[in-house]
Structure 1
Amino acid sequence: MTSALANCLWQIYIIEYERAVDSLNNSLENTFVRFFIFEVWRFSTSGLYAFAYWIYLQRTQEQNLRIVTEKQLFKTELNFLKAQINPHFLFNTLNFVYGDVAPKSERAGKAILKLTNLMRYSVESTKNEKSNLKKEVDAIDEYIELQKIRFQDRVCVQFVKEGLFPFFALPPLVLMSIVENAFKYGVIDDPANPIDISLKVTQEDMLFKCRNLKRKDFADRETTAVGVANIKRRLSMLYEKSFDLAVNDTEDIYEVNLSVVWQK
């Protein structure tokens, strides 16, 4: 009787307990597996959506960039066409004005002709990185003659030049810009202090000097400094250290000296 009761209690409290524990463990394991699978699915889905959104943003940015690029190309082509049309129209108009004015005023006709030549050189020369030195010298001569027509006998300037101009080249309008600044900011009607320009070209190098008396009624020199800085930058792009651009700026005198060693 006692043995049967003991077996019964063992059946109830021990074996059934173990079954309950095993069942609980199986339930927990199933729950963990389900939870793990859910989290993997959740993170995978989130990553997939994030990747899809990133692809969408990339395509949107590429499309916007393509639209902007196409607009810029269109604008560039339009400006190029304008650049082709406007000078042609301008030169034809100047030629028409010259033909109409020259018979009536020889002085005005010469001024228009020289202005036309200068503008044509300015347009044509800037299409290339370098311009033939002879064309630059001819443009300076045209500019000086135009100033003499404007101010007649009041212009005091000397331009001494010698050398092999046709065989060498410089960035366009470099020398012209220096000469133009001399007329713009310097005294042009002092016989004792004329604008002094000299150019000597050999097979090895080029020496250029432009010296002028400074105007007292012109105090702002920033524009000149910016112009010289731009010239130096343009020269450095082509000649690196094979040139020297020196400015002597005193209270009364402004002088620019440029030397270039030709690259062999």
Structure 2
Amino acid sequence: MNIFTHIAAWAVVFIMPALIFISEGNHRFEEALYRSLMSLPFLMFLFYSCYYWLIDKLWFKKQYLLFVLMVVVLIVCASYSKYELFSYFDLHKGKHRMPPFHAFVYFDFLSNLLPVVFAMAIRYAQRNFSLEIAQKEAQAHKLQADLTQLRYQLQPHFFFNALNNIYSLIAFDPQKAQQSVHSLSKLMRHFMQNSDQKQISLADEVDFLQQYISLMQLRLSDKTTVEVDFPKQVPTLSIAPLLFISLVENAFKHGVSATEATTLKFSLYIEGHTLVFRSENTLLPNQEHLYSSGIGLANLQQRLALLYPEKHQYTIEKKDGKYCAILKMNV
């Protein structure tokens, strides 16, 4: 609570009794203000005693009985002080005598209890708000830690897969192997520069995919056809980095055969506010059980759950001898 909130609240407490006094048909406005002014310090004393001390020291530490006892003592002390003050001023002004003290305390109890209730309500609201912020901060830190772990997990996985491909080229085509090493260095530079970024441009991600597909094509025979349908003018969008690479890797890993004709197809397009990425490859015999395994796809699904909760759809279709992975994200 800032100081202006305190001032406004106590101004209302000061004026309200006088307004109620007038609304009942009594036009002694000055007397009402006079009594409100004398009551105000006692109400403030009860409020701030609870707000800054009793609630934190006793109530929130579950010492309820002691808290109630202390509040009752404070209310009785405030009522007694107010009673003596009213009696003194009324006596000097020649007004009627005050009622007995026990009757005054009885009728004054509710007005003295209200500051205590308000203090508890405000402290509870502040406490719940602080706890909510702390929980959100803890969740944010955990989310960041999880994403960092997943990024570190993805990098060596990608690197080892690329090295295996280069290794297979060395024996029969050293020139292509040399070209692959050069291409791999560019891809690893992309990893180092962008993998720690929360968001990168869609154009950068598409360029990375195109370079990776070109690298993979170096080891393919004429039996494999690769079709790429990426937009020439990439929309100006930002996405989390390295979301599609696992799908492309999976297609090259399980959709390429040295003896059979196979086809790989990759496409990316926008449908309304949805970004759609499709990876399709020939479904080879004795390979179907391998598609859902591996670090890459598990990593992808965990990252999507963390980065795009309830804002993505990952589906797999197997029909007509084709395996198709479709990733849709709201952007």
**TM-score after normalising by structure 1:** 0.51
**Equivalent of 1:149, from 218, 224, 227?**
218
Partner of 2:299: 230
User: What amino acid does structure 1 have at the position aligned with 2:234?
Assistant: F
Q: Which amino acid aligns with 2:306?
A: M
In 2: Cα distance, 1:226 partner to 1:247 partner: 17
Structure 1 unaligned segments of length 5 or more: list them. Answer: 1-82, 84-104
Q: CA deviation at 1:160?
A: 0.3
Alignment deviations for residues 199-253 of structure 1 (CA, whole Å, 9 cap, x no partner): 0136722111111112325465275376434322212322221211111246943
Specify whether residues 222 and 149 from structure 1 end up closer, same or farther in structure 2 by C-alpha distance, changes over 3 A only: closer
Residue equivalent to 1:261: 330
Q: Look up the SS of the partner of 2:293 in the other structure.
A: helix
Q: Which residue of 1 aligns with 2:269?
A: 200
- Distance of aligned partners of 1:189 and 1:204 in 2 relative to their CA distance in 1, 3 Å threshold: farther
Q: Does 1:132 align with 2:201?
A: yes
- 2:190 corresponds in structure 1 to 121
Q: Output the CA distance in 2 between the equivalents of 1:188 and 1:171.
A: 32
> How many angstroms apart in 2 are the aligned matches of 1:157 and 1:167?
26
Residues 258/223 of structure 1: CA separation in 2 closer, same or farther (3 Å cut) = closer
How far apart, CA to CA, are the structure 2 residues paired with 1:173 and 1:159? 18
Residues 1:222 and 1:109: Cα distance change in structure 2 (over 3 Å) = closer
Letter paired with 1:146: L
CA RMSD of aligned residues (A): 3.5
Aligned to 1:187: 256
1:178-204, CA deviations, whole angstroms, 9 ceiling, x for partnerless residues?
A: 001100011357996511111013672
1:53 maps to which residue?
none
Structure-2 change in CA distance of 1:230 and 1:108 (3 Å): closer
Which SS does the other structure have where 1:118 is aligned? helix
1:239 aligns with 2:301: no
Alignment map for 1:1-264 (pairs within 5 Å): 107-162=176-231, 165=234, 167-187=236-256, 193-201=262-270, 204-218=273-287, 220-221=289-290, 224=293, 227-249=296-318, 252-262=321-331
Contact 1:214 1:253 in 2 (8 A): yes
Task: Count matched residues.
Answer: 163
TM-score after normalising by structure 2: 0.42
- Runs (4+) of structure 1 exceeding 6 A deviation are 189-192
SS of match in other structure, 1:208? strand
Partners of 2:329 and 2:216 lie apart in 1 by 28
Change in Cα spacing, 1:248 to 1:202, as seen in structure 2 (3 Å) is: closer
Question: % of aligned pairs identical?
Answer: 26
Aligned equivalents of 1:118, 1:223: Cα separation in 2:
25
Moved more, 165-174 or 184-193: 184-193
